[in-house]
Amino acid sequence: MTKFIWQRMQRQSFHVGIWLGVLLALLHVFTRVLPLITSNDVLFTPFTMWLGIDSFSVLNLLFYLLLPFLSSLAFADFLKRDITSGFLQQIKLSLPIRRYYRIIFWVTFISGACLIALPLLINLVASSLVLPSYLPDELLNNNIAMRANSTLFVGLYYSHPVLHQLFYLLLAAIFGGFGLFACFTLALSLWLKQPLVALFAAFLLQLLLYLLNSLLFMNTTITPFDFLPETVLLRSVQLSVVLSTALCLIVCSSLFYVIGVKRHVWL
């Protein structure tokens, strides 16, 4: 079954998702990191200039804005295509259908998470190889606004910045795979006639959340576009809000998926 799933992932959209994310990560290295290679300045380190924290870069904004779309390119529309093409009927002959639904859900989660984690990891490693790894200082690095209300676990950032970077990389990967992004697109594809429309649905949902955030929640961010980067500039970030947003999106994705499956195939 693993070989079968892997073969089906070898399609153009999967490779587009990988290379587009990697391209953004490498462009950030070449335009924002490499020019600082000879600076040896305590202000410019991997902890202040990698893609996940460089909120003054348009590439940072573009990556996190496109994150829902990138994570959905791997596997999110496969089940809908299997149902409409009739391929699902052939799968029933060789595999218990309940198991197939579970496999599709988790493969979508893992592939979506990997499409987000890989570019961030490449950028993080490249930035660490190029820039000096001076530990961040609360006074010297005040320019990036790393305060208690602008990032989660601010104490971890100043004491163990690498762990803080990995935490935010993992957070982006989880949101990329579950909830708002890949699994949300998978679930929504069962309710829409055109799979291509579903690929943009999570991206549009993020824009809607950002609009609601701007109109109703002026001080606290509820949008992954805002709180997935390592620092938030315009609003405050709270762990309870991040967890609540994640929980709501996970529950919605799971319900849409289960009900959507029952609409097409009797379990």
pLDDT tens for 152-163 read 999 999 999 999
Which one-letter DSSP state was computed for residue 234?
Answer: S
* % residues pLDDT > 90 (the chain): 34
Asked if the model's pLDDT at residue 11 lies above 70, the reply is no
DSSP 8-state assignment for residue 236: B
Q: Which pLDDT score, from 0 to 100, does residue 8 have? A: 60
Yes or no: say if 229 and 53 are a contact pair by the CB < 8 Å rule. Answer: yes
The answer to which of 40-54, 83-97, 121-135 has the lowest mean pLDDT is: 83-97
Give per-residue pLDDT as tens, 48-96.
999 999 988 999 999 999 998 888 887 777 777 777 777 777 777 777 7
CA distance 25 to 166: 16
Reply yes or no on whether the pLDDT at 234 is more than 60: yes
Has this prediction a pTM greater than 0.95?
A: no
The Cα–Cα gap between 266 and 246 comes to 29
State residue 264's pLDDT score. Answer: 67
Scan for tokens 């990997």, then name that residue.
114
The whole-number average pLDDT for the span 140-164 is: 88
CA-closest candidate to residue 32, choices 10, 12, 48, 9: 48
| pLDDT at residue 32, rounded to an integer | 95
pLDDT band at 28 (very low <50, low <70, confident <90, very high): very high
Q: Determine the pLDDT at residue 39.
A: 80
Average pLDDT, the chain: 85
Q: What does the pLDDT average to over 231-252?
A: 88
pLDDT in the model for residue 196: 72
Of 8 and 256, which is predicted with more confidence? 256
The Cα-based distances of 63 to 30, 52, 60, 114 in angstroms read 15, 9, 5, 14
Please report the pLDDT score of residue 267 as a whole number. 46
Encode 70-107: b = buried (16+ Cβ within 10 Å), e = exposed.
bbbbbbbbbbbebbeeeebeeeeeeeeeeebbeebbeb
